[in-house]
A and B are shown apart, each in its own frame.
Chain A
Amino acid sequence: NAGVTQTPKFQVLKTGQSMTLQCAQDMNHEYMSWYRQDPGMGLRLIHYSVGAGITDQGEVPNGYNVSRSTTEDFPLRLLSAAPSQTSVYFCATLKTNTGELFFGEGSRLTVL
């Protein structure tokens, strides 16, 4: 029962470096999304996808890029990391008929 799998769990970057957070799901959910979690700010939506080949921006998309070539995978790319992107990132899928989100375990990113 893998569900939603995120890698890596921890990452330290220097300002200006790029990296990709991976997200894979085996639940065959069409909808996938990326959130960031910051202290006292809850979860904020970065990007989301309603199906393969379709992506859209959420509340805080600047500095991030996504693509969705398959139903299973939804990678999040940081193009040029900044200290403001230090956060915990969560990938989530949606079970459409119930509205329930299923989350990965999170990826903790520190940008120095």
Chain B
Amino acid sequence: GDSVTQMEGPVTLSEEAFLTINCTYTATGYPSLFWYVQYPGEGLQLLLKATKADDKGSNKGFEATYRKETTSFHLEKGSVQVSDSAVYFCALSESAGKSTFGDGTTLTVKP
């Protein structure tokens, strides 16, 4: 079956540091890939997505590129802020509605 493996956390960075959260996946077909973010006390919300190989999703300074050859969708940001502190989930979807999530990576950014 489908699976998503995320870099284990928690991750603690200083403000303005570079962020990478690794995500690799296993799927039988050609899934769409997503990053969701969960701020404290809230539900998940979509951060960015990519629907086919070599697509780059971007939003709020975050980027991720769909790499079919390495089955990866790593999340990056060049300069993190305290407000980026949250839990980040990598997810894939092969058929409408059936999404598979990673375990989540907690990011804490210190001033």
Return chain A residues, CB-CB under 8 Å to B97.
Answer: 31, 33, 48, 50, 94, 96
Which of these, A42, A50, A96, A106, contacts B43 with CB under 8 Å?
A106
Residues on B with beta carbons closer than 8 Å to the beta carbon of A4: 43
Q: Of A14-22, A66-74, A76-84, A97-105, which stretch is located at the interface? A: A97-105
Interface CB pairs A-B, < 8 A, 13: A31-B96, A31-B97, A33-B97, A40-B103, A41-B103, A42-B101, A42-B102, A48-B98, A92-B44, A94-B96, A99-B32, A101-B99, A103-B45
User: B89 in the interface, Cβ–Cβ < 8 Å?
Assistant: yes
B46 contacts A101, CB within 8 Å? yes
Q: Interface code B80-108, partner A: CB below 8 Å = 1, 0 otherwise?
A: 00000000010001001111011110000
Decide: B46 and A100 in contact? CB cutoff 8 A: yes
Q: Counting CB contacts under 8 A, is B49 at the interface?
A: yes
Chain B residues with a Cβ under 8 A of chain A? 4, 32, 34, 36, 41-46, 49, 51, 89, 93, 96-99, 101-104
| Inter-chain residue pair count (beta carbon < 8 A) | 53
A42–B104 CB distance below 8 A: yes
The 8 A CB mask of A34-55 against B (1 = contact, 0 = none) is 0000001111010010100000
Instruction: Decide: A96 and B96 in contact? CB cutoff 8 A.
Output: yes
Q: When chains A and B are docked, how far (Å) is the Cα of A49 from the Cα of B45?
A: 20
Cβ-defined partner of B89 (8 Å) among A43, A100, A105: A43
Q: Which A residues are CB-close (under 8 A) to B104?
A: 42
